[in-house]
Amino acid sequence: MRVKVKVYVDLQRYNPDKGEEFTVEIKEGSRVKDLMQLLQLPEHRVMLILKNERIGKEEDLLVDGDAISFLPVVGGG
Amino acid sequence: MAFGYNGKILRVDLSTRKISVEEPEEKVYRRYLGGGTLSLYYLLRELKPHSDPLGPENILIFCTSVMSGLTAPGFNKYTAAAKSPLTSGFGESEAGGWWGPELKSAGFDAIIIKGKASSPVYLWVHDDQAEIRDASHLWGKMTAEVQESLRKELGDNRIRIAQIGPAGENLVRYACILNELKHVNGRAGLGAVMGSKKLRAIAVRGKKNIEVFNRESALGIVKQLRESYVDDPSGLGQLGTARVAPILSAGGMLPTKNFITGFFEKAEDIGGKRMKETILTGRGTCHGCFIRCKREVKAEKPYEVDPIYGGPEYETVAAIGSLLEIGNLEAIAKGNELCGKYGIDTISFGTTLAFAMESYEKGILTSKDTDGLDLKFGNHEAMLECIERVARREGFGDLLAEGPEMAAKKIGKGAEKFALHIKGQPLPMHEPRGKKSLALAYAVSPTGADHLENPHDPFFEKEAGLIDIHPLGILDPLPSLDFSTHKVRMFVYLQQYYNWLNSIGMCIFTAKPFGPFPITKIVEYSRAITGWDTSLWEMLKVGERFANMARVFNLREGLGEKDDRLPERLHQPLEGGVLKGERIDPEEFAQAREMYYGMMGWDPQSGVPSKYKLEELDIGWIVPQLSRT
C-alpha cells in the first residue's frame, strides 16, 4: 500500500533526499511506528503525529491512502 | 584575582551627574553570578518599594555575568532590569548580540543607573571610563540614525550601542532597548524606564581581554562543542526561529486570532522556510556563536524593508502575524522593521493590538474610537499604521501604548476579557493549552507571562528525550498534556536550570535541550573560566536564589498569589486546530500552583517564601523585607 508522508523542517534531515512531502510504499498491516522505523525517525524527536489531519499514535494501523505528518519537537524560544 | 569578570560595577546618577565605580567582593559574584540575580541583589538593597517605575527613583541596571563575553557560543547575553512599568513588579529582559561582551571589554560587569537627566543624554563607556554626554541632537531620531551619528561623533565604527527609540522617549509602556538595531531587551517595558531617565543610548567600546583561569581547558570544551554540532540539527541556523510557525499551527498550538484558536491557515506563508525562499538576504549571529540563527531580510515596495534592522523572529511572525490573522510576510517584516526603528517590543505590541481587534470585532471599540482605522483581524495596513501611532502616542495609539491591561481598564465595557496578559505583561506566542507546564510558567513567572521560564513539555515526552536533562534528576517522561504533581516537579527543576542560565547570560538556544552545550559541560566550562571549585548543585542554588529574590521583590510591591493567575481565555477550550477543545482546567491549575508553591518552600496558599528557605539560600538579609509586604 502507499501512504502520503509530510515531514516538517527539523525531521527532514533523516531523509534528506526525499524532501518535505513524498509517498512511501509500505506493506499491508503496518502501523505508524513501522513507518517511523522505515524513515528512521527517532521517536523522541517527533512531537506529534497527524493521521489524516487528526492526532495519531504510533500504534495506529495504516491503510492505503493515509496521509501522515510528523511534527518535530519544538519547545519555546 | 578575578577570572571571567572585571570586578567593577559602574554607577551613574543622572540627576547629580555623578559617576563612581564599585568593586564588589568575589563572594558577591559567586553567590549572584550576574544577569537578573545580580540585578536583584542591587534592586532589593537600593530601590524603595512602591517607587514610580517611570520616576527618577527607579533604578535601571544593565548586567552581564561572570561568564559573558567569552568565546563559547551563547555567552553573550546581558540583562536589563528595573521595576517594570507594565507589571509594577520585577522587570527584566535579556538581549544577545555584542553589547554585553563589549561592556566587559570596556572594563565593567554592570552599570547601575539612578536618577533622571534634566535634558536628553547618552552614556559613553570605554576603557575603564565613563562620561555623560548631551543627546539633545539625537532625541526623536530613529534608531539607525542615532547609531550612525554616535559612531561618527565618537570616531569609531566598532562602538556597540544599546539604545531606545522614539517609543521609549514617549514612555510607551512596552518600549524596548535594542543593541545593534536587532538584538532586543524586548519585554517588561524597560525602554520606557530608560526614556523616563532621558537616557537615549549607552555606547560602549573596550579593548580589554578577560582573564580566564584555565584557557586551555576552556578552549578544549569549545572545540568539542563545535565538532559535535554538525549539519544544523534543528534547522535553527538555516531557517531561524520562525521555522516553527507552521509546525505549531499543524500541532494546533500557534497563537491565532488573539488565542481563540491554535491553527492559522496561512502559517506556511509566515514561516522560516518561506522567509528563506523570499525575503532573506543574510544570516546574522551573536558574539562567539556558530549557530547563526538571526535573520536579515529585505523587501521592496510597497513594504520596503531595510536589512539593517535584521528580520522577524518566530515571536514576531506570530505576534504581528497569526495572532492578528495576518499572513503577509512582507508586511510582517515591515512591522518588525518599524518596531526596530521606534524601539517597540513586537510581542507586547501584537498582543495589545489583538486585544483591540477583538474588541473592535465585538463592537466594544468602533471606528470612532480608533480614529477611523478599520481594526478588523487580518488588516495588515492597520497593523503598520498602529505601530507609528503607538510610537508617537498619537490619538488611538496613545491608548494602545498603555498595554492591554491599562487600555482595557480605560475602555471598560467588558473589554478586560480580551486583554491577554499576566500581571500586565502581554502574553507571548506559546500556547499553554497544548503544553501544560507553560500554564504554570506563565502564571508564576516573576515578570508576568514569560515563555522562557523553562524548556517546554514536548521535549520530555519520551525516555530518549530525557537524556539531556538527566543531570537535573528528571528521569520519567511525561505527556505534554499531563498536569500532575510529576509535571510540577519537572517544572520546578527546569525553572531553576533556566534561572541559572539567565544568571550567567547564556542563550537557551546553545544549551541542552535546544543546543549543543550539555548541562554538565556548562559547569565544567564555568570551572575553567572562574577557577572556582563549583558544581551543578551550587549553580542550581543560584537559580533558586533568583526565584526567591524576584518573589520577594514582587511581594514588596503588592504582587502575590492573587496575581499568579491566567487570563480566562486559557481556561476556555481552543476553538480550532487539532487540539480543539483543550483547555486549562481551573481546578487542576490551582492544584498545580499550590504544589509549586509548596515545592519551592513557600506557603502553599499565599505563595510567600518561608524565612527558613531564604536563610537556606543564604539570602537571610532579605527576610526583613517580607514584613513590608
Contact B241 A75 (CB under 8 A): no
Predicted pLDDT of residue B629: 62
Among A42, A44, A77, the residue with its CB nearest the CB of B514 is A77
Query: Whole-angstrom Cα distance, residue A31 to residue A25?
Result: 13
Give chain B positions within 8 Å (CB) of A13. 231, 233, 235
- Same domain (yes/no): B537, B614: yes
Give chain B positions within 8 Å (CB) of A42. 464
* B570 in a structural domain: yes
How open is the CA angle B436-B438-B443, to the nearest 5 degrees? 115
CB B175 within 8 A of CB B343: yes
CB B181 within 8 A of CB B308: yes
* B1 in a structural domain: no
Predicted pLDDT of residue A77: 57
What Cα–Cα distance (Å) separates residue A60 from each residue in A51, A54, B461? 9, 12, 18
Instruction: Give me the domain span that covers residue B375.
Output: 235-422
Contact A71 B455 (CB under 8 A): no
Give chain B positions within 8 Å (CB) of A74. 244, 247-248, 456, 458
- The reply to whether A42 touches chain B by the CB within 8 Å rule is yes
CATH number of the domain encompassing residue B604:
1.10.599.10
B469 to chain A nearest CA, in Å?
13
Contact B241 A72 (CB under 8 A): no
pTM attached to this predicted model: 0.97
Look at strands B60-63 and B9-13 and give their pairing: unpaired
Buried b (16+ CB within 10 A) or exposed e, B231-270: ebebbbbbbbbbbbbbbbbbbbbbbbbbbbbbbbebbebb
Chain A residue with the nearest C-alpha to that of B235 = A10
CB B480 within 8 A of CB B251: no
A60 to chain B nearest CA, in Å?
17
* B142 in a structural domain: yes
- Same domain (yes/no): B244, B277: yes
* B210 in a structural domain: no
Q: Which fold has domain A2-72?
A: Ubiquitin-like (UB roll) (3.10.20)
Query: Whole-angstrom Cα distance, residue B327 to residue B332?
Result: 8
Chain A residue with the nearest C-alpha to that of B454 = A76
- Same domain (yes/no): B552, B604: yes
Predicted pLDDT of residue A76: 60
Q: Give the B-side interface with A, CB within 8 Å.
A: 231, 233-235, 239, 241, 243-244, 246-248, 250-251, 272-273, 314, 430, 438, 451-452, 454-459, 461-465, 480, 508-509, 513-514, 578-579
- Same domain (yes/no): B144, B239: no
What's the complex ipTM?
Answer: 0.93
Among B462, B480, B578, the residue with its CB nearest the CB of A44 is B462
Return the DSSP state at B63.
E
Query: Whole-angstrom Cα distance, residue B173 to residue B351?
Result: 13
- Same domain (yes/no): B564, B440: yes
Q: Which of B379, B396, B422 is the last residue of a domain?
A: B422
- Same domain (yes/no): B123, B47: yes
What Cα–Cα distance (Å) separates residue B246 from each residue in B84, B233, B507? 33, 18, 24
Give chain B positions within 8 Å (CB) of A76. 430, 438, 451-452, 454-456, 508
- Same domain (yes/no): B518, B550: yes
**Average predicted confidence (pLDDT) for chain A:** 92
Contact A71 B247 (CB under 8 A): yes
Query: Whole-angstrom Cα distance, residue B489 to residue B476?
Result: 11
- Same domain (yes/no): B174, B46: yes
CB B551 within 8 A of CB B606: no
A76 to chain B nearest CA, in Å?
6
- Same domain (yes/no): B540, B579: yes
Predicted pLDDT of residue A16: 85
Query: Under DSSP, is residue B189 helix (H, G, I), strand (E, B) or coil?
Result: helix
Give every residue of chain B whose pLDDT is below 50, as ranges: none
| Per-domain boundaries in chain A | 2-72
- The reply to whether A67 touches chain B by the CB within 8 Å rule is no
A38 to chain B nearest CA, in Å?
19
Nearby residues of B342 by Cβ (< 8 Å), 6 or more positions away: B142, B143, B165, B166, B167, B387, B388, B390, B391
What Cα–Cα distance (Å) separates residue B159 from each residue in B148, B149, B150, B153? 10, 11, 8, 11
Buried b (16+ CB within 10 A) or exposed e, B17-41: eebeeeebeeebbebbbbbbbbbbb
Predicted pLDDT of residue A13: 87
Nearby residues of B546 by Cβ (< 8 Å), 6 or more positions away: B36, B37, B40, B499, B500, B502, B503
Chain A residue with the nearest C-alpha to that of B455 = A75
* B448 in a structural domain: yes
| CB contacts < 8 A (A, B) | 79
Give every residue of chain A whose pLDDT is below 70, as ranges: 75-77
Q: Which of B184, B205, B226 is the last residue of a domain?
A: B205
* Length of chain A measured in residues: 77
- Same domain (yes/no): B162, B266: no
- How many structural domains comprise chain B? 3
- What angle separates helix B380-392 from helix B346-361, to the nearest 10 degrees? 120
